[in-house]
Structure 1
Amino acid sequence: MSKRALSSSTSPSKNKRLKIQLASQPKIENFFYSSTKARVSVNPATNARHSSPSRQKASTSSTAIPDIIDVDSLESEDENKLKHYKELKNESPVVPVVGTLAGSNARLSEAEFSSLDVDPSLYDPVLQPSNSPHAPYALLTHALVALSQTRSRISIINILTNLLRTITLKHPSSLLPAVYLLSNTLGPQFVPIELGLGSSIISHSIQQVSGLSPAALKRMYNNTGDPGDVAFAAKTNIRTLIPHAPLTVPYVYQSLLRISRCKGHGAGKEKQKIVEKLLLAASGEEVRYLTRTLYQNLRVGAVRTSILAALARAFVLTPPSTIPNHPSASTDSAFSSPGKISVDSASRATLGSPSKRKQTYNALSVRFKEAESLIKQVYVKHPSYDQIIPALLEKGFESLAERVPLVVGVPLLPMLGSPTRSLDEIYDRLNDLPFSAEFKYDGQRAQVHALRTFNGGPTVKIFSRHLEDMTTKYPDVIGLVNSMFRTSENLTSFIMDAEIVAIDPTTGLIRPFQDLAGRARKDVNIRDVKVTVCVYAFDLMYLNEKPLLELTFNERRSLLRNNFIVRKVPQEDLSVSFFDFVESCESIQGRIFIEEFLSKAVENRCEGLMIKLLDTPATAVVGDPEEKQKRMKALPATYEPDVRTSGWLKLKKDYIDSMSDSLDVIPVGAWYGNGRKAQWWSPILLALWNPETGRPVALCKCMSGFSDAFYAQMRAKYSPDSEHCSKQPIWECDFGGFSPDIYFQPCEVWEIRGADITESPVSMAAHGMVSSSRGLSLRFPRFIKTRGDKSIELASSPSFLVEIWKSQQGKGKGPAQMDDGELIDVELEDSDFDRSDSSESD
């Protein structure tokens, strides 16, 4: 990749335009916080920004070569800049041509790109004007602008498909960084790459590039609540005298990686230098979305499922054989093989009779579904674009699953259980099929990977439920795996699903989850381990170079118990953790025994039971193959990564009929408190996660169950000046009739209980699913605990809320009192139960 250098300046002349060197701004604590130190001033008479003579003298003596900023076009006052920005908000966003360079480095404006929001079968990527080796960042920005203007999932997938087709055909080397930038990540989930870029660095960089004062930028931020909009407005009239080369997708991605690698003394300055280079080279809408990328909030609806679907469709329409200079490239642009459409043939699909067009579209639809299913199956077993995209570029879908297989060291997405509310529901779902009931431990779910190396010792990796690498958090578990390989010569590799639980080393009794939560998150020294843990294994997905996902749970459990030995003896050595299998019982022991087993689980500080189907049913509905296939798919005994099926059912003590409802919700906003709670947020607006739209949907207000300490912690995290708060709804969420005083960034999950579920005219949760004009809400919600183990995508869904509502109606409770969304801030007894984290188990 070619290096980019900032433009240099020569000695200023009296006959030339006034040039300034931007002085270093003081460090700020929050976004656009005003500083009291000296800063660049404005001389209304000359309409130019300048610093004091002493500061100018210091600038000329500096060895650093500054960027030259043409300030002739700047407004004379910051207020005029704000006025101009307000006018821009009502105009269509256009990327202005800052300057042109010779050859393929010429900057492209957004107007030059053809629309991406069209049917992929009608789209021709050849018509896009980008022809440089690397994809221009302007093309990616063009797609982000289109994505931000629609909420239709069909349109989102079409835009992504057409973008990825263009990059695949014209800039294949840019495909991997483009996908990471679209997904707002720097790498796979299990690779610990953090941007580590504070809002102060971004705001300081915008000040340096724009020349505006912190106060002016602060006013812009108060008007919009979005740093991307502020950066766009601040840089609108800024021009460099010597134009920068246009940004490319690989350059932006590599710059972000360089930022993530900045460590130690002087890291902040180095990060700011990289950010300033990016902002100086960016133009128009590039500035807006580059800033949002730096701020890690793109505000577009490109969720993982949409990106995978678009990637599959892109390679259906543009297979590797159509890529220029590809080894398999063919001169024939017609159907290269059944279901594969090249660039030209996609356009020809619109010709001919209507029946021919219909046949073509039907065939294309089938091919899309097959390709999407294949890529998703590969991704859930090997969730890394680092291997998937190069494999697609090499041979397309041909033997993709074999070329990107399940391997030790790369975590697969865990299988999930479906919630149930009673044993009656469990027996009804499983149709009296044999099942196993297991303790649902209150610990941290862990995926343990181990591979024997040439020297005999294993390489060990431990991943969390969210695929985060937490190997260094558990040196005692690493010691356990080492002992397993020493005592078993036949053991060469395995991937195990387990729950890590704190226990008493002398009695073996389970200790509270808080004891485990007190352990440091990484780089734990074995000498600092104070709490003994036990690894309770409950599944085995890989053993001795053989994947086991297609085996039934009964078969996998047998292999687990036959190849590993329980290690649970009272001891004083904490360098090696305990090992045991989850405590379980079988359905053949009778329903009464299962009920007693549930009580035993609660007594042993477990969350409830996990019900697992032992074997896939051999027969379903006699004489109807389609119904049989659907039934077997709904009741799999195989291991299904990233799928919530009826093969695994969870019966939590909070879900039992005699208990209150329990939901996992997302705090998305709040109102100012009254009386004693005036210094805090109360009530809090809670939301469910809608997987169909890829964003939260408002459910209800909550003001019960919070301790004073929790209120204080929440106010500190969601302070009005923090990056997690905004006076404007800048984060995607369906708020319905709720209008909170402050909006929260959806970033955590809480567990709540309520009295019952009711219809609501203001709630958008499950809107249209039970009523054409109303959603569902929760009456008398009460905060239980923070679910630190769950991401917002794992919060309860509207469909789950509907299931509880239907169950409630079936019990004869009838329709509950209407919830109009109002909540009086009454004084309730504050709960002293303040728990910052909870089980990582499903």
Structure 2
Amino acid sequence: MQKSITSFFKPKDESQNSKYAEDARKKETKSASIEEKPKVPTPVKTIKEEGDENALPTVDSEEKMELEAPSPVKVRKMELNSGLPENEASEAYDPSVETYHPINDAYWKAQRTTPYLALARTFQVIEETKGRLKMIDTLSNFFCSVMLVSPEDLLPCVYLSINQLAPAYEGLELGVAETTLMKAICKATGRNLAHIKSQTQLTGDLGIVAEQSRVSQRMMFRPKPLNVRGVFAKLKEIANISGQAKITLVYDVFVACRHAEARFFIRSLIGKLRIGIAEQSLLTALAIALVKRNHINDCKAHKVCDIYKDEIADTTLILKTTYSQCPNYDIVIPALLKYDIKELQDRCPMHPGMPLRPMLAQPTKGVSEVLERFSGMQITCEWKYDGERAQIHLNKDGEISIFSRNSENNTPKYPDLIARSKSLVKGNVETYILDSEIVAWDIERKQILPFQILTTRKRKNVDIADIKVQVCVYIFDLLYFNGVSLVTKPLSERRKILMEHFQEVEGEWQFATALDTTDMDEVQQFLEESIKGNCEGLMVKTLDEEATYEIAKRSRNWLKLKKDYLSNVGDSLDLVVIGGYKGKGRRTGIYGGFLLACYDTENEEYQSICKIGTGFTDEDLRQHSEFLSAHVISSAKSYFRYDPSLEPDAWFEPVQVWEVKCADLSLSPIHRAAIGAVDPERGISLRFPRFIRIRDDKSPENATDANQVSLMYNSQDQVKNNQKSSDQMDMESDFY
């Protein structure tokens, strides 16, 4: 797409503007090729009492006007020649320019209310930008302007930038079906539903279709311009209602959309913003914006990143750390605006009822690696249970909450755990946050059942009397107790408090089976015992040294030691499905193979790692094809990294994670996983990958990352032996 051509074509005065608009309309009438004759729409009027600034547009069914459907290529040119002088600044707004000034270029500074069009233009520029750093810098420019000109709008701007309405654990979702949105678009523009559907299928993006339909529509009465605060409030209202009222609210906002607003408003409702900004990028952009704001008078804004690199790094670390322990922008953003960044962690403490990002373990495939990492340290080994990670909270009001590893609120799924929670505590316990694993439990045999049994348990509207799959909770950490955070204390101290104030109840609440040792032979024997106990392996942790709880990190202070279920690779990988290949033979009509990717957290991109076609039953393939067909996109995302030779028949939104096993990992000239980490030009791929299961408990951003892939590659015996041989040859060469 062309990038910010508004500044090149903007007319110099109003008369010239009108002339350009008239020429554009004539040219469009002459050249546009319209496959269908659009219905004659009704113009939008505004009904309101005098002085009512929040009036909503309504339709006068008696008045009608002609309009034409633009071709996609001409939409941008039509935007540039819309004919309204007051829109020139908004259409020309571009926060990506090198000379951007957060105050001077914030064209809304007189109104002190951020226009929704400014946010939409920012999204539009970011979508057209390829480089990750440039995308972050562009967003930081916009955020800095909002901080300085209209700070009350920063919170809704942040939520809209990651397509959320509230913290993830509140579970507030829009839930608007695509067909519902199409009907609203038809109602507002007079388009035929069949045409909207065909154009959406052609472009793969209802947002683009909505924008094209909206831009081509000339209106007798233009509704009041949208602002960020108002759109965010409407989206929350839409999320909380159902039925026909939802369509009405969507329509009310859509008829007021101008230019790119229509595209991103519809995308927000669908839940696919498509600009490539993940949460870590957003936090980085906020940190940079904060530094730019603080030094707005010291230097030109676009040079702040070069001059204040260290301050940006420190600010980013504080902000990300704060958000890890307090993942709620409703708390973090007001504190960010009001207090010094150094006070942020104290102003935004963790508390029960708000889930923390869990600490994760690094995979390893042998006891020898454990010895190498923890040599001389006091360690503990805990059985690794094959269940569902659960963070259990008790707040000061006595309410129990249960959250998944993705901060999803699973409280309604486990009413039985809440009912028996009082039996867990002993003594004076007012508040806590426990880290645990929930497993399926066989009451008669008193043993753990496979994870697949747990997945059959009902997720919503669970009645205790109807529960068929019983569960047992294995507790392995205490993160918060009676108003005090324990994450900075060593594991040995956290465990001591846990044992003093909580108790086991057989088959309901139990502590993770553990062994404290420094003997690697004991570790190996304990690993074998865990396998017999229907567990996956061991979690090996330090007790005193480097033994804090590292929120939201995959730390080498926790090592995951699994049984060697394959000859060379000691752990499975959790990979994201990004493409599908049409099946042949008995797989005709469905996808017979898939392109998988790991996630590079540093660059926030999905890197291809393998094509997979084994491990599936016919029923698996049918279900995968049915699910993924609903997430097809017209082309690869800008943050998909792959070789053109791997082009699939269909690209998918990164929405599902699969657990995959393989024979080993090897360097690849075409796959891009961890490229540059092991070899400057080649990535890493999987040999003989095999599908195991869907990981519903993991989001795509929590898939196996590129750093893990490189570590797994380097830990292979063959690679180690080759490295030793190479080192030996180098030594001999030096000697001679």
* Secondary structure of 1:491 counterpart: coil
Contact kept, 8 Å, 2:41 with 2:66, in 1: the verdict is no
| Counterparts in 2 of 1:124 and 1:661: CA distance versus 1, 3 Å | closer
> Which amino acid in the other structure matches residue 182 of structure 2?
S
Q: How far apart in 1 are the matches of 2:648 and 2:355?
A: 40
The answer as to 2:578 corresponding to 1:585 is no
Shift of 1:648: 0.7
* Secondary structure of 1:125 counterpart: coil
Q: How far apart in 2 are the matches of 1:298 and 1:93?
A: 23
Q: How far apart in 2 are the matches of 1:146 and 1:658?
A: 46
* Secondary structure of 1:541 counterpart: strand
Q: How far apart in 1 are the matches of 2:216 and 2:203?
A: 19
Shift of 1:249: 0.5
1:686-705 to 2 correspondences below 5 Å: 686-705=596-615
Contact kept, 8 Å, 2:40 with 2:67, in 1: the verdict is no
1:230-249 to 2 correspondences below 5 Å: 230-249=209-228
Q: How far apart in 1 are the matches of 2:685 and 2:245?
A: 49
**2:668 matched residue in structure 1:** 760
Q: How far apart in 1 are the matches of 2:238 and 2:320?
A: 31
| Counterparts in 2 of 1:86 and 1:530: CA distance versus 1, 3 Å | closer
The answer as to 2:338 corresponding to 1:385 is no
Contact kept, 8 Å, 1:116 with 1:146, in 2: the verdict is yes
* Secondary structure of 2:434 counterpart: strand
Q: How far apart in 2 are the matches of 1:611 and 1:438?
A: 6
1:337-348 to 2 correspondences below 5 Å: 340-341=294-295, 343-347=296-300
**2:251 matched residue in structure 1:** 276
Q: CA RMSD in A?
A: 2.8
**1:482 matched residue in structure 2:** 422
Shift of 1:762: 2.3
Q: How far apart in 2 are the matches of 1:224 and 1:603?
A: 53
The answer as to 2:542 corresponding to 1:598 is no
**1:415 matched residue in structure 2:** 359
Shift of 1:673: 0.7
Q: How far apart in 2 are the matches of 1:87 and 1:585?
A: 66
**1:250 matched residue in structure 2:** 229
> Which amino acid in the other structure matches residue 520 of structure 2?
R
**1:619 matched residue in structure 2:** none
The answer as to 2:642 corresponding to 1:735 is yes
Contact kept, 8 Å, 2:364 with 2:570, in 1: the verdict is no
**2:379 matched residue in structure 1:** 435
Per-residue deviation, residues 722-759 of structure 1 (Å, max 9, x unmatched): 3x123433574223221111122211111111222233
1:85-234 to 2 correspondences below 5 Å: 85-88=71-74, 94=79, 97=82, 107=87, 109-118=89-98, 123-130=101-108, 131-234=110-213
Shift of 1:68: 6.6
Q: Which runs of 5+ in 1 are unaligned?
A: 1-40, 52-63, 76-80, 101-105, 319-339, 351-359, 570-577, 617-635, 815-842
Contact kept, 8 Å, 1:147 with 1:300, in 2: the verdict is yes
Shift of 1:111: 3.6
| Counterparts in 2 of 1:449 and 1:108: CA distance versus 1, 3 Å | farther
> Which amino acid in the other structure matches residue 511 of structure 2?
F
Q: How far apart in 2 are the matches of 1:70 and 1:167?
A: 40
Shift of 1:471: 1.2
Q: How far apart in 2 are the matches of 1:169 and 1:73?
A: 43
| Counterparts in 2 of 1:113 and 1:363: CA distance versus 1, 3 Å | closer
Contact kept, 8 Å, 2:95 with 2:141, in 1: the verdict is no
Q: How far apart in 2 are the matches of 1:500 and 1:645?
A: 22
**1:541 matched residue in structure 2:** 479
Shift of 1:597: 1.0
**1:445 matched residue in structure 2:** 389
Q: Which runs of 5+ in 2 are unaligned?
A: 1-33, 43-56, 724-736
Shift of 1:92: 6.5
1:365-376 to 2 correspondences below 5 Å: 365-376=309-320
Scaled by the length of structure 1, the TM-score of the pair is 0.76
Q: How far apart in 1 are the matches of 2:722 and 2:102?
A: 58
**2:503 matched residue in structure 1:** 565
Contact kept, 8 Å, 2:432 with 2:481, in 1: the verdict is yes
Q: How far apart in 1 are the matches of 2:41 and 2:66?
A: 15
* Secondary structure of 1:561 counterpart: helix
Shift of 1:246: 0.7
Q: How far apart in 2 are the matches of 1:729 and 1:810?
A: 33
**1:681 matched residue in structure 2:** 591
Q: How far apart in 1 are the matches of 2:289 and 2:116?
A: 19
| Counterparts in 2 of 1:391 and 1:537: CA distance versus 1, 3 Å | same
The answer as to 2:704 corresponding to 1:796 is yes
| Counterparts in 2 of 1:614 and 1:42: CA distance versus 1, 3 Å | closer
Q: How far apart in 2 are the matches of 1:812 and 1:520?
A: 49
* Secondary structure of 2:472 counterpart: strand
| Counterparts in 2 of 1:412 and 1:659: CA distance versus 1, 3 Å | closer
**2:413 matched residue in structure 1:** 473
Shift of 1:209: 2.0
| Counterparts in 2 of 1:730 and 1:221: CA distance versus 1, 3 Å | farther
Contact kept, 8 Å, 2:79 with 2:215, in 1: the verdict is no
Shift of 1:613: 0.8
Name whichever of 308-317 and 428-437 sits farther off.
308-317
| Counterparts in 2 of 1:69 and 1:757: CA distance versus 1, 3 Å | farther
Q: How far apart in 1 are the matches of 2:62 and 2:359?
A: 55
Q: How far apart in 2 are the matches of 1:42 and 1:587?
A: 75
Contact kept, 8 Å, 1:112 with 1:129, in 2: the verdict is no
| Counterparts in 2 of 1:411 and 1:65: CA distance versus 1, 3 Å | closer
**2:45 matched residue in structure 1:** none
Shift of 1:145: 1.5
Shift of 1:48: 7.0
| Counterparts in 2 of 1:48 and 1:407: CA distance versus 1, 3 Å | closer
Scaled by the length of structure 2, the TM-score of the pair is 0.86
**1:770 matched residue in structure 2:** 678
The answer as to 2:565 corresponding to 1:651 is no
More helix by share: 2
1:825-836 to 2 correspondences below 5 Å: none
